[in-house]
Amino acid sequence: MTTTLPAYDDVVARYEPVIGLETHVELGTNTKMFCGCPTDFGGEPNTRVCPVCLGLPGSLPVANKAAIEATIRIGLALNCSIAEWCRFARKNYFYPDMPKNFQISQYDEPLCVDGYLDVEVNGETVRIGIERVHLEEDTGKTLHVGGATGRIHGATESLVDYNRAGIPLVEIVTKPIPGTGALAPEVARAYVTELRDVIRSLGVSDVRMEEGSLRCDVNTSLNRPGQEWGTRTETKNVNSLRSVERAVRSEMLRQASVLDAGGRITQETRHFHEDSGDTTPGRSKETATDYRYFPEPDLVPLAPDAAWVAELKAALPELPRLHRRRLQLQWGLSDLDMQSVLNAGAVELIEATVAAGATPAAARKWWLGELSRRANEAGIELADVGATPSQVAELQGLVDAGKLNDKLARVVLEGVVGGEGSPTEIMNNRNLEVVSDTGALTAAVDEAIVANPDVADKVRSGKVAAAGALVGAVMKTTRGQADAKTVRELILERLGVQS
């Protein structure tokens, strides 16, 4: 069934959205949640496993203290209360990528509860309530071979890789977020972005959505103004910040069209499709599952020591929002300029470049200019563009010392990005240094004057602006390696004209 979707402005004029987000973060601990297996990516299937994470009969879990610490730090950064006593719980359901056919998670006794995260949208601060932050284990990966869909039904064979089984996962659940109106999609995106930055600043996860170390489910409902909240749907498979925004928007439009037609919203799980930007219903069976939660009897309750929690709180790093405000002041940027730095994902890169010796203005120029252009062209993150902050600072140092002009600096930068070495090495190896040998330059200037007698005469007669043609000629013979300002001065000097 295809229906024409209503216009977005029209929808938000008639309906109020309530959104909610559930985010899973894979922690970057050295070992898994309940055993000593390494967590690094890339091993052959089933090489990062042991009796515990394979769920072999008789094996027992032991909780990873580093993961508990990381979760508490996340909770503290999100202004949560940390439970004085809590337990793990078993979530029971059969699925072959779950070695024990239950997941060790937390149910009604999470580690962190009742916090908030402030995010900025269009210069306004929106406070997002955090319901809970809890700790659980990841599952393995099932690969269905054969069959048309690549899904379990119709497959001729199923292969399971348990390397990821037992990786610590933190689940962060917001309270319902009403009152954002037309901004709901942007608020959702801003929240996930801010959450990502907070977690990254804690150094507990690399929080990369593309690699799945940050995953997001989006809940959306619509109601008429003044009426009760509507039935919500849960959208899964939202794998980028942009998709978070699109998923909320798409679900708002879909629900509005159902409601407009007098229909009812079914409480269900829906899947977001990156290519089409819309959602389709998941298996309704999933919502009917009874997980038979009960306290995990193989693990003793967690009772984080209050003094330890206080210590962790005191040692929290400056959180991104405050950190950004401080940098903005230090760099002397307007709100608008700071926003473009943020949008480019360049805050940390500029900060590190400044730390390596560049001025804020120069650092910003490189990262937002040439390097952003290259990243956009290649469709990659700015941080992955191939130049490091220290290389950019070094490059700027060469410019400041007069060894490179702007044009040459770009050529050197290309070498840097291409992996040819440090800016100084590339400059030397490719012989790109600005020609500052006055003897050689004078010869080139004299040659240009001889070759362009008419122009030289004009300059001699006082038409100083005509010197530009001679400068161009010199730059050409020196293959751009001369400093244009020096060349101009030399020409005027040779022609006996005061500059």
Partner 1 sequence: MTDLTRLTASEIAGLVASGDASAVEVTQAHLDRIAAVDGRINAFLHVDTDGALAAARAVDERRAAGDELGPLAGVPVAVKDVLATRGVPTTVGSKILEGWRPPYDATIVKRLRAAGTVMLGKTNMDEFAMGSSTEYSAYGPTRNPWDTDRIPGGSGGGSAAALAAYEAPLSIGSDTGGSIRQPGAVTGTVGAKPTYGGTSRYGLVAFSSSLDTPGPCARTVLDAALLHEVIGGHDPRDSTSIPAPVPDVVAAAKLGATGDLTGVKLGVVKEFTGEGAEPGVTAAFREAVDTLTKLGAEIVEVSCPHFRYALPAYYLIAPSECSSNLARFDGVRFGLRVGDDGNRSLEEVMSLTREAGFGPEVKRRIMIGTYALSSGYYDAYYGQAQKVRTLITRDFTAAFTQVDALISPTTPFVAFPLGARTSDPYQMYLADLYTIPTNLYGGPGISVPCGLSEGLPVGLQVMAPTMADDRMYRVAAALESAVGTFTPPAL
Residue 351 tokens, joined:
């900060």
What x-and-dash track marks residues 35-54 binding Zn ion by CB under 5 A?
A: x-x------------x-xx-
Residue 89: CB minimum distance to partner 1, A: 11
Residue 153: CB minimum distance to partner 1, A: 7
Q: Which is nearer to partner 1, 6 or 140 (CB)?
A: 140
Q: Which is nearer to partner 1, 90 or 134 (CB)?
A: 90
Footprint (CB under 5 A) of Zn ion, residues 377-416: none
Q: Which is nearer to partner 1, 13 or 60 (CB)?
A: 60
Q: Which is nearer to partner 1, 63 or 352 (CB)?
A: 63
What is the distance between the terminal CA atoms of the chain, rounded to a whole angstrom? 77
Q: Residue count at the site for Zn ion (CB under 5 A)?
A: 5
Q: CA-CA distance, 492 to 499, in Å (whole number)?
A: 6
Q: CA-CA distance, 295 to 315, in Å (whole number)?
A: 32
Reference 248, options 279, 208, 210; nearest CA is 279
- Count CB-CB contacts under 10 A for residue 210: 9
Cite the DSSP H helix spans in 332-436. Answer: 335-343, 347-355, 360-366, 372-378, 389-400, 406-417, 423-429
Q: Which is nearer to Zn ion, 50 or 492 (CB)?
A: 50
Q: Which of partner 1, Zn ion, none does residue 37 bind (CB under 5 to 8 Å by kind)?
A: Zn ion
Q: Which of Zn ion, partner 1, none does residue 96 bind (CB under 5 to 8 Å by kind)?
A: partner 1
Q: Which is nearer to partner 1, 297 or 439 (CB)?
A: 297
Q: Which of Zn ion, partner 1, none does residue 53 bind (CB under 5 to 8 Å by kind)?
A: Zn ion
Residue 91: CB minimum distance to partner 1, A: 10
Reference 478, options 439, 422, 440; nearest CA is 440
Cβ proximity of 187 and 121 under 8 Å: yes
Residue 300: CB minimum distance to partner 1, A: 5
Footprint (CB under 5 A) of Zn ion, residues 45-104: 50, 52-53
Residue 324 tokens, joined:
């950004």
The reply to whether 33 sits near Zn ion by the rule CB under 5 A is: no
Q: CA-CA distance, 50 to 441, in Å (whole number)?
A: 71
- Count CB-CB contacts under 10 A for residue 224: 11
Q: Is 345 helix (H, G, I), strand (E, B) or coil?
A: coil
Residue 30: CB minimum distance to partner 1, A: 17
Q: Which is nearer to partner 1, 165 or 214 (CB)?
A: 165
Residue 100: CB minimum distance to partner 1, A: 5
**Residue ranges binding partner 1 (CB under 8 A):** 51, 54-63, 90, 92, 94, 96, 99-102, 152-153, 156, 158, 160, 290, 292-294, 297-300
Q: Which is nearer to partner 1, 55 or 166 (CB)?
A: 55
In eight-state DSSP terms, residue 371 is I
Q: CA-CA distance, 356 to 410, in Å (whole number)?
A: 19
CA distances (Å), origin 136, targets 139, 167, 301, 347: 10, 8, 14, 32
Residue 74: CB minimum distance to partner 1, A: 23
Residue 289: CB minimum distance to partner 1, A: 10
Specify the stretch interacting with Zn ion by CB under 5 A; choose among 34-42, 135-143, 431-439, 457-465: 34-42
Q: Which is nearer to partner 1, 297 or 453 (CB)?
A: 297
The reply to whether 160 sits near Zn ion by the rule CB under 5 A is: no
Q: Which of Zn ion, partner 1, none does residue 246 bind (CB under 5 to 8 Å by kind)?
A: none
Burial 78-107 (b: 16+ CB within 10 A, else e): bbbebbeebbbbbbbeeeebbbbebbbbbb
Q: Which of partner 1, Zn ion, none does residue 380 bind (CB under 5 to 8 Å by kind)?
A: none
Burial label, 462 (beta-carbon count in 10 A; 0-12, 13-18, 19+): exposed
Residue 165: CB minimum distance to partner 1, A: 11
Residue 285: CB minimum distance to partner 1, A: 11
The reply to whether 258 sits near Zn ion by the rule CB under 5 A is: no
Residue with tokens 């062209």: 377
Q: Which of Zn ion, partner 1, none does residue 411 bind (CB under 5 to 8 Å by kind)?
A: none
Residue 125 tokens, joined:
């601060």
Q: Which is nearer to partner 1, 64 or 239 (CB)?
A: 64
Reference 63, options 166, 158, 159, 160; nearest CA is 166
Q: Which of partner 1, Zn ion, none does residue 236 bind (CB under 5 to 8 Å by kind)?
A: none
CA distances (Å), origin 198, targets 76, 189, 206, 313: 11, 14, 11, 14
Q: What angle do CA 356, 357, 358 make, to 5 degrees?
A: 110
Q: Which is nearer to Zn ion, 53 or 309 (CB)?
A: 53
Residue 160: CB minimum distance to Zn ion, A: 15
Binding site for Zn ion (CB under 5 A): 35, 37, 50, 52-53
